[in-house]
Each structure stands twice: as C-alpha cells, then as structure tokens.
Chain A
Amino acid sequence: MNFRQFAFNNVFRNKRTYAAYFLSSAFSVMIFFIYSVIAFHPEMQEGMVVNLASQAMKIAQWIVYVFSFFFILYSVSAFLKTRQHEFGVLMMQGMSHRQMNRLVFLENMIIGIASIIVGIVVGLVMAKVGLVVGGNMMDVQLSYYIAPKALTLTGGSFFVLFIVISFLTQFMIGKSKVIQLLQGTNKPKPEPKASLLLSLLAAILLGGGYFLAATANAGTIGILMLPVIVMTIIGSYFLFTQLSVFIINLIKKNRNFFWRRTNLITISDLAYRMKDNARMFFMVCIVSTVAFCAVGSLASFGVLGKQTELSYPFQISYLSKEDNKRASEHLDRIEADFKNANAIYEKVTTTVLYQTSKQSESGVSLLSASEYNKLAALLHIDPIQLKGTDAMVMPHNFEYKKILGAGKRDITLKESGIKLRSIGVAEGPVISQGMGSNWVIISDEVVEKIQGSSKKGIITGYRLDAWEDAKDVGQHVNEELKSWYEAHAEDREANPSFGFTSLADLLAMQNQMYSIMMFSALLVGAVFFIASGSFLYFRLYTDLEQDKERYKAIGKIGLKDKELSKIATTQLLLLFFIPIIVAIIHSVFAFMALQSLMDLSIAGQAFKVLGGFTVAQIIYFMAIRWRYMKHLREALH
C-alpha cells in the first residue's frame, strides 16, 4: 500500500461517507452536460427564437456552474468535518500537514474525476430525454446528436472546478490541534446564545420585508427589490440562529410540555445541535427560496398567454391603408385559407382615421363612437355615448390599460385644428394589437368634420370561437409582410401599406419562448432543490454515528420501537420542513410582489409550483426517513 493506494482505499471502501458528496457532484456535471448538449446542438443555431433559447441555455448552464462551485465547496467542508477524528489519528501516526493536504487533494480529485465520468455517461443517456423533452417544449425537432464541444466543455470546466476546490481544501483542514481533531465531531458546540435584541431584529426585518413585498406596485418594485432581498436574507439568518433558540428556550421552561413523554429527548436534541442546524436551516431555506422563485416567476409568465389573448379580440386582423392596391387579393387569400381550415368566423370591417396630436407630435388613430359600439357589441362590452368634442382614449393592448388610467389630457388635432377633450378611458381594446396605436374614440360629429383632412385605413377583423383553427390562416400575407420589413429594415420612416396580425402565430412564438425559459428554469430549479436535499443529507450523515450511540443509550433505559420511530420521525420532520416552510412563506411574498406587475392572477401558477416542490420534498423525506430508521434499528438490535 503506497500513499496513492491509501487514498484510493479510503475512497472506495468508505462509499457511504463519500456517496452524498459524489452523487451531488455527478448530478451537477450531468445537468451542465445536458444544457451543453442542447445549447450546442446544430439545429439550435438557426432561427431567431431557437437561437435565443440556445443563449438562455448557456446562461443557465453557467448559473449551474457557479452554483455547483459553491455547493461542492460546501459539501467538501461538511464532509471534511465528519472526518476530523480520522485526521487526528493520522496525525498521531506522524502524518505531516503536507501529506494530509495531499491525501485530501488526491481523494478530491478521485471523486471529482469519477463524478465527471459518471455525470457525462449518465448525461449521454439523459441527454436523449433532454433533447426530446426540450425539443417538444421548444417545438423543434432535435435529433440525438452530441456535439463534441459539449463533451470538452463539460469535462474541461469541471476538471478546473475540481482542481480549484481540491486546492482550496487545504485551507479547510486548518491548524487544529490533535486533541481537538481526535475529539472531532463528538464535541458538542455550545448552544448559540439567544439575544432578545437580535431575535427582535429578525422579526422586524422579516415583517418589514414581507410588508414591503406585499404592498409593492409596478412603480416601486424596482427600487424595493434589492432592499427586500437583503432584509429577508439577514432576517432569515437571525430567525434561525436567534429567534429559534429563543423559542426553544421558552419551550424548555414549560416543563408541562418539555417533560412530557418523548418531547424531552426530541427538544433537547434539537437544542444540542442548534448551532449546526441553524446554519443548515438558513442555507436550505435560502437555496429553496431561490429555486421556488425562479421556477415560480417563470411559471407565472404562463398567464401572459391569457393577457395576449385579451389584447387580440380579433384573432386575425388585416389593415389596409389608402395606398394599398392588393387589399382584395389579400382578403381573398385569407378567406380561402379559412375555407380550407373549415373554420367558422365572424367578419367585421371598420374605418380608422389618422391625424397627428399637437401635444405629443405623434400620430393618433381615431375611431368613431358608432364604430366602437359596433365592435363593442360583438365583444359584449357596454356601448359609449360621446357628444361634441368629447373623446375617450382606448388602450392598444391589455397591459396598457393600467398605465392609461392615470391623468386626463386634451388632444389638439394638428391637421384639422380640432381640440378634443378626453373624458376617460374606454373599455378595450376592441381592435387587435398591432392594428394601430394611440387610440382615441371620437364622436360621430367630429368624424364628419375631419373626414377630408384625414388619411384613412380599413381594418378587417375575423373572430373565431375555435381560434386554434386559424393557425395557418394568412401565412402568405404574413410572409409578405415580413419580407417587406426585411427589405426596408434600414429605412425607419417607411411604413407598409398593409398590416396583418394573427393571434395563433403570436401565441405560438410566445409559447415557444415561454417553454424554453420554463425548461431552463426547471433544470436550474432541480439543481437547487437537489442541493438543498444534499445539505440535509450531509447534516444527517454527520450525526448518524452519534445518533446511533445516543439511541443505544436511550434504548438501554427502555425505549419501544414505536417511541424510537416517533422521536426520530419528529426530528426528521423538523429538519426537513422548518426551512422549507419558511422558504414557502418567503416565496409567497415574492409572488405577491410579482403579482403587482401582472394583470391576471398568478396564484394558480404559484400554487402549482410550490405544491410541486412540497410533494417532491415529502417524497424525499419519506425515502430518507426509511433509510435512516433502518440504520438506527440496525444499530439497536
């Protein structure tokens, strides 16, 4: 047995100790690899949206990388701590610090290289799934192809990561005395002192942060975001290190509760390890909150689809300006498409007038009240009455509604010199987004007066119940429009003589973007979630030997199997769910802040995400409990 063999033996014979560390490393490698495979896939390099997705993947990939770095660093230090006793024995045998550093370096590199290999090999299989799922979500066909660059990037960057981490380990073993190392983890750390002041500070910071988040609106959210995040992080830290100890001390004073049955053991244990636990709680809580919020906010963008629908009351719209000579040809085409799709629709035509506002020097689109009422009737919106120079503004899309609400203003029309008095915001839009902007509804009298001085446009709207049928309708017109824009990309002044919008087309693009972001967020969320799970696993593993000893001792006093199970389960429950519950509360307030940016409720989406994570945590809890109880029972019998 030479030195290198010694390192090897240490790793391979002690699989269980290294398992959590190894698995979490391999998992990080695998996720990074899958991202790379998708990002570097040749079919991902073409097309605007897909290319954007490839960029998103690359960003997500490096987030995973940076996080993996800190996560693996933490794992190593937790792992080295469990081995202090071993290091003490080795030092007594005359191992020098240099040799110890080399041993740890070697071990780390063994684990690192093994996890790179395993991560990539498993990744090769999982990439198949990733490509199919990702491809489906993004609506592109991704064949099974592994870009060589994905392989080299993953291998290379994680090799560097493990070298850096292995190098950093030598600062972790520290300069502890042999006697401290030999006593190792057996020595309980003193309970942290609960200071009333800091406990109060925790309550104030969290309360304040929650209050600000809950009351934030679209205008303030930008300024408030950073302070609220900082307040919540500091507040959580003191919540776990101070307030919790404070509460435990209160419980201990209540003998009626504390001395009842198994409570004595459960709670004294909890207090005994509070210092270690507090830090772990804090980390799990923050990491989980990040995971919940990342996935949750993206999931919330799902409601954007609904908002888009409301901005396009007519699923297919066609705008023809005065100089357009191809209107009837285009409309025939569109209607022929409808016929092919067997779609039933309602068709409406309406006339728009264009003038310029003196105040803002920008064009306004004018719609007569009777035209508005005609469209409104179709959309089940109440009609309006306008007299003289009274006018109403109308949002050009659903989100714009709120912004329009503020302030009444007068509009003077440049071409006709008529001064309009805005008396409010009209319900709407009654015309699809993209058919015009700066909408103003005017009375029929004013329309008469400005007929002569205005340019005109005719909008044809098609309304369908089953709008999915209209997916391919008007593709030709759309293509024509797109190529017109491409041809006139340089000329900012030029305007096409016709316009076309298709809700189905837009939604398809939006959905694709959304799916891509969701896919990336889910993968990142998974990494964070697994990480928080590993923190818990490390914590349990660190204490397992001690727990066995303790339960053995308690067992001698006479502890029924059921009682043992109850104590252990309660402790695990607290360990697993205290940080998660706090994380869920944090996230709920984060979603409340996010809600202020959205018009439609995101509660459903948020509930789904938080529920999903909770279910995953419960499953993880059951699995760990089962294994943990098995270990304890083995030790007892």
Chain B
Amino acid sequence: MEMLKVNKLVKTYEGKVATPVLKGINLAVRQGEFVGVMGPSGSGKTTLLNMVATIDSPSSGEVIINGMNPHTLKKDKLASFRRRELGFVFQSFNLLNTLTVEENIVLPLTLEGVSVRKMRSDARLLADRLGITPILDKRSYEISGGQMQRTAIARAIIHRPKLLLADEPTGNLDSKSSKDVMETLENINKSDGTTMMMVTHDAFAASYCDRVIFIKDGELYHEIFNTGNRQVFFQQIMDALSMMSADHSEFSTVRV
C-alpha cells in the first residue's frame, strides 16, 4: 500500500528570473516506510517537503497522500486533513512561545476538541518517551535547542499522523541528542507504523532510515536501501555523498 505518491512534481519560483527548483520529481513511499532525503544545500529538499506538507503549492504535478490529493481540497477540509494525516517537524521548530511545552505538544489535539484528560495522559506518555517530562511546564523559550526539537517532534506525533515529515530534525543537536531523537523516531516508526520522510544532512541520522534518496539540482539523483545493518548502510551513504559531490565539482561541499 502506498502512503505517499509524488508525480512529476515541478516547482518554479516566479520572480524577476523564474527559478526552477524542482524539475519533475517522481517518488513513492510505502506505508510504514522511513525515507531519508539528502542532497546539497539549495537542491530543493525543503521545497519538496513543503509541497508534500501542503505548506506551499506546486507549479505542476501532483502529490497523493493516502489516496488523496490535499492540494485540491477546500480550505476547511485541508485543515482537518493536516490535523489528522500529517505531522510536521520544521527546520526551525516553530513552537509558540506564548504556550508551555505541554500546551505546545497538545495543540493539535485541542484543535480537534479532544477531552482534557486524554490530552494530558497522551502528552505525559509522549514526554516520558522523549525524555522531556521535567520541562513540561516551562515556556518554549526557556528550554534548550535539543529540548525544543523534541517538543516539536512530540507535537508532530501526538495525534498519531499517518505521515510524519521532518526537515533536519537533528540539525541543531549534538551527537548524543541526535542519537536520542533518531532512536525516538525509529521507535515511533516501528511501533506505531507511522510513515516518515526526513530531510537531513547528517549521514548518521540517515542511517536509521529504510531508504535514502538523493536530490541534486531539483532532480532525483540516486537512491539506496538499508539492508539491515546500520554500519554498512552508513558507509553506503557516505560513499554516495562523496560520489555526488565529486560528480558535481571538486570544490562543492556537502555539509556532512
């Protein structure tokens, strides 16, 4: 069963010079699959994720999530679609600083009108799992980057979305915190069966995925599958990255 299907997705930013950023991406993600997206800076990863997340609309092509094209939905339908099917972890957290950590986490549920008791217990369970129980009552600007990241992840999964999208969820974390976050994501993926798509520059984080796709200049460049051994997969990813950068130009750098 396919959870996500992307057909000939094109995105061009109109401006003084029209910049084609995505040039016809095709992609299919199975239900329960954990997909990593890698590529050089500016290659269009965030743009792709934004299209899938319905944050921005494509110039042409379509996005099918769980059999539906969200871009054709009416506003209110789209709102409840986001609420039920999608979870999103932003590159820059986007927590609301008027709310406490706990309130940030239960935000999607309040919008849905879930009972307070259920919200509380769900939030506590999740906080335990992510190790942020001690900071639940703090305001979002009083916590560290790693804690913010985990809060954002908790907010993205509390309503058990079918598809979780994450833009560099380990971008601001040290290796210990990265490992925690990746293990949490893997755990959610395995035990809840949530389908995931994660943009990352970090080969170590990518090694938790089932499959990693590489994007370059707005096109699919390469993809590799995890055969079960993370060490081996990590090495394959590193090789693919250096191959891609060598192919591009000697001096181009990929932030690894």
Please list the residues of chain A having a beta carbon within 8 angstroms of any beta carbon in chain B: 1-3, 6, 9-10, 13-14, 85-86, 88-99, 175, 177-179, 182
Contacts and interface: CB of A to CB of B under 8 A. Distances in A.
B110 A3 contact: yes
B94 A92 contact: yes
Contacts of A9: 98-99, 103
Interface in B96-114: 96, 98-99, 103, 106-108, 110-113
B66 interface: no
B50 A1 contact: no
B96 A94 contact: no
Contacts of A99: 79, 111
Interface in B73-89: 75-76, 79-84, 86, 88
Nearest to A89: B94
A178 B54 contact: yes
B107 A93 contact: yes
A2 B114 CA distance: 8
B45 to A, nearest CB: 15
Contact of B113 (A3, A88, A93, A178): A3
Contact of A95 (B54, B106, B111): B111
B224 interface: no
B139 interface: yes
Contacts of B155: 93
Interface string B100-133: 0001001110111100100100000000000000
A87 to B, nearest CB: 10
B53 to A, nearest CB: 7
Nearest to B116: A2
A95 B75 CA distance: 10
A94 B84 contact: yes
A389 B80 CA distance: 100
A94 B56 contact: no
Contact of A178 (B56, B84, B116): B56
A1 B110 contact: yes
B256 interface: no
A100 to B, nearest CB: 9
Contacts of A179: 50, 55-56
A182 B56 CA distance: 10
Contact of A89 (B56, B96, B106, B113): B96
A2 B110 contact: yes
Nearest to A178: B55
26 contacts: A1-B116, A2-B110, A3-B113, A6-B99, A6-B103, A6-B107, A9-B98, A9-B99, A85-B94, A86-B96, A86-B98, A91-B82, A92-B55, A92-B90, A93-B82, A93-B155, A94-B80, A94-B81, A94-B86, A94-B111, A96-B111, A97-B75, A99-B79, A179-B50, A182-B55, A182-B94
B56 A1 contact: no
B7 interface: no
B158 to A, nearest CB: 10
A480 B116 CA distance: 81
B116 A94 contact: no
| Top 8 A-B pairs, shortest CB-CB distance | A94-B83, A96-B79, A94-B82, A179-B56, A14-B98, A89-B94, A13-B98, A178-B55
Interface of B: 50, 53-57, 75-76, 79-84, 86, 88, 90, 94-96, 98-99, 103, 106-108, 110-113, 116, 119, 139, 155
A204 to B, nearest CB: 33
Contact of B80 (A3, A96, A175): A96
A92 to B, nearest CB: 6
A13 B75 contact: no
Nearest to A180: B56
Contact of B79 (A85, A89, A91): A91
Contacts of A88: 94
Contacts of A90: 96, 107, 111
Given A93-B111, A178-B54, A10 B106 contact: no
Nearest to B102: A1
Given A86-B96, A94-B84, A99-B111, 10 more contacts: A1-B103, A6-B103, A6-B110, A13-B139, A85-B94, A91-B79, A93-B111, A94-B112, A96-B76, A97-B79
A89 B107 CA distance: 11
A568 B99 CA distance: 31
Contacts of B75: 96-97, 175
A93 B108 CA distance: 5
A3 B107 CA distance: 9
A10 B79 CA distance: 21
A83 to B, nearest CB: 10
A97 B76 contact: yes
A99 B98 CA distance: 18
A178 B55 CA distance: 5
Given A13-B139, A178-B55, A94 B98 contact: no
Contacts of B103: 1, 6, 9
Contacts of A85: 94
A92 B106 contact: no
Contacts of B90: 92
Contacts of A6: 99, 103, 107, 110
B19 to A, nearest CB: 15
B197 to A, nearest CB: 15
Contacts of B50: 179
Contacts of B99: 6, 9-10, 13
Contacts of B98: 9-10, 13-14, 86
Nearest to A94: B83
A92 B166 CA distance: 13
B46 to A, nearest CB: 11
A86 B97 CA distance: 9
Contacts of A95: 79, 83, 111
Contacts of B88: 92
A162 B8 CA distance: 49
Nearest to A11: B98
A496 B224 CA distance: 114
B79 A92 contact: no
B12 to A, nearest CB: 14
A80 to B, nearest CB: 15
Given A13-B99, A13-B139, A1 B94 contact: no
A239 to B, nearest CB: 29
B71 to A, nearest CB: 11
A177 B56 contact: yes
A1 B80 contact: no
Nearest to B86: A94
A396 B107 CA distance: 80
Contacts of B86: 94
B219 to A, nearest CB: 22
Given A1-B110, A9-B103, A92 B82 contact: yes
